[in-house]
Amino acid sequence: MATALRCVRRVPSLLCRSPVTVVRGLPLAPASCPAPLQGGSRQCVPLMLLTRQLATKKAKGKGQAPAKVNISAALVEDIINLEETNEDMQAVIEALKEDFSRNLSVRTSPGALDHIIVMTKDGKFPLNQLGQISQKSPQLMIVNMASFPESTAAAAKAIRESGMNLNPEVDGTIIRVPIPKVTREHRESLAKLAKQSTNKSKEALRKVRSKSVNQIKKFKSKVSEDTIWLLEKQIQQMADSAAAEMDKLLAAKTKELLG
C-alpha cells in the first residue's frame, strides 16, 4: 500500500514530464492550467484519470469506500453543464420540502388548502383563487365560493380528494371543512403520504440523472472512454447525494408526524 501511495504522490510531477500521461479526448484546458506538456498540447488531466486503476483495486477491499470524483465543470462544459444538472436535482429536493411543508402537517390550517387544484370547465385553478378561505374555529374551516358559485361542487371534490383526510360539507356557496381530530391513524396516514411523496421525488431525480447520462453518451465518439466513465460517476454521486438528503428529510418529517 505504501508503494501505491508513493506512486500517487508522484503523479503531479509526471504530468509535466511525460507525454504518456495525457489522456486523449479531454477538452483543452483554460489558460490557468500548467504550461503545455511535451509535444505542445495544453491539456489539464484530472488526477483521477491517472489513478483509476489504483483506486479500483483499492476499492475492492472490504470496507473501502469508492474513490470520489470531482471534475471541474469548466473542463467539460462542451459536453455537459454539470452546474445545470446539480440545479435540476436541487430543484427536486426543494419541491419535496415544499410539499412536506404545505401538505403534510398534523394540524390543518387555512394555508394548507390554498394550493389545492380545482378542475373547472375553464381549466385548473388553485382553490384560493376561486374561494375565500378562513378558519371559523380550531375545528372548522370555511371556503366561501360566492365569487365563483359554479365551481362550488368542483372545489368540494378537490378538497375531498386532496389526500388530507378532509370531508367537506356544501351549503349553497359555502363549503364547511371540519378539521379531523389528530388520531394515531391520521398521523400514520400522513407518514405514508410522506413516503409516497419521497418516492415520487426520487423518480424525478432518476429522470434528471438519466437525461444527463444520455447527454454524455452523445459524445462517446468524440472523447475518451475515461472521460465518459468519470462524468457518469460524477453524476451518479450527485444523484446519490440528493437521494440521501431526501431520506433525511423523510426521516425528520416522519418523526414529526408520528410524534
Tell me the three cell numbers of residue 147.
365569487
Q: Are residues 89 and 214 in the same domain?
A: yes
Question: Could you give the number of structural domains in the chain?
Answer: 2
pLDDT at residue 74 in the model: 73
Q: Block means of pLDDT (10 residues each) for the chain, length 259 residues?
A: 45 38 42 42 40 43 63 78 94 94 73 87 93 90 95 95 86 92 84 95 97 92 88 94 97 91
Task: Give the domain CATH number at 98.
Answer: 1.10.132.20
- Nine-digit cell at 45? 488531466
Beta bridge partners of 135: 141
Question: Checking phi first, is residue 172 left (phi over 0); if not, alpha (psi -120 to 50) or beta?
Answer: left
Say yes or no: 173 and 188 in one domain. Answer: no
Give the pLDDT score at 144.
Answer: 96
DSSP string, 68-80: P----GGGGTTT-
Quick check: is 60 in a domain?
no
pLDDT of residue 109: 66
pLDDT at 184: 87
Q: Among 27, 23, 22, which Cα is nearest to 80's? A: 27
Q: Give domain status of residue 148, yes or no.
A: yes
- Residue 19 domain flag: no
Q: What is the pLDDT of residue 107?
A: 65
Q: Show the domain range for 247.
A: 73-104+183-258
Could you tell me the pTM of the whole model? Answer: 0.61
pLDDT reported for residue 166 = 87
- Are residues 133 and 245 part of one domain? no
